[in-house]
A and B are shown apart, each in its own frame.
Chain A
């Protein structure tokens, strides 16, 4: 299994809603990532989990709350989002955290629209 699976594929939510994005990998990878991509822009790093601990938070607003329940799962909890948070949210994983010459494996993303 060489896939990173993200659910849901599409999500529409209001600014007062609470929702969660889910990501799963069964490749035994020890690092997992959340990226955000706006239209016609490159992916931008939000969070990194290394060995199930949050290792990097790229100054992301607190309305985004990541969670890593175990080494295979990564969640992103959303609350009180703004319309400008509408974007494609990408999950990725890599074999180890900080190992040399590692590529990231990306999921297909969740297309989020905030109304």
Chain B
């Protein structure tokens, strides 16, 4: 059973417009959420994160919103640029009490295409 879901496998947006990528989770123990950007045959690059004690975090063109009651988060990119075209992964983690490591659970990814 997928604990983190990205229901839109792809999204196409015109340059300059807003891109909204969505993510849902089921595990109430998740308390930290991250967005990674990934190009083919490369490792994921960290983009932005949000702690469960917040409902919004902004970094330049990127804003992440968290709705804990709905177990939903979204990434807003505005304005979108052609260089933003990539696969975006939502990931979630919960506090490990035994110092075993920070396990990230990834969603299936959304391929964003920004058209010039």
Chain A residues with CB under 8 Å of chain B are 4, 6, 31, 33, 40-45, 48-51, 55-56, 88, 90, 92, 94, 96-109, 111
Main secondary structure of the interface of B (DSSP, over half): loop
Contact A50:B101 (CB < 8 A) given known A42-B107, A97-B96, A103-B34: yes
How distant is the Cα of A41 from the Cα of B6 in the complex, in angstroms? 12
How distant is the Cα of A100 from the Cα of B98 in the complex, in angstroms? 12
In angstroms, how far is the closest chain A Cβ from the Cβ of B104? 6
Asked if B41 contacts A56 (CB within 8 A), the reply is no
Which of under 10, 10 to 19, 20 to 34, or 35 or more describes the interface residues of B? 20 to 34
How distant is the Cα of A45 from the Cα of B89 in the complex, in angstroms? 14
Contact A50:B32 (CB < 8 A) given known A4-B43, A43-B44: no
Asked if B101 contacts A106 (CB within 8 A), the reply is no
Report chain B residues within 8 Å CB of A102: 32, 93, 102
Of the A-B pairs whose beta carbons lie under 8 Å apart in the complex, a sample of 5, sorted by A's number, is: A43-B44, A43-B104, A45-B104, A101-B32, A106-B36
Asked if B46 contacts A105 (CB within 8 A), the reply is yes
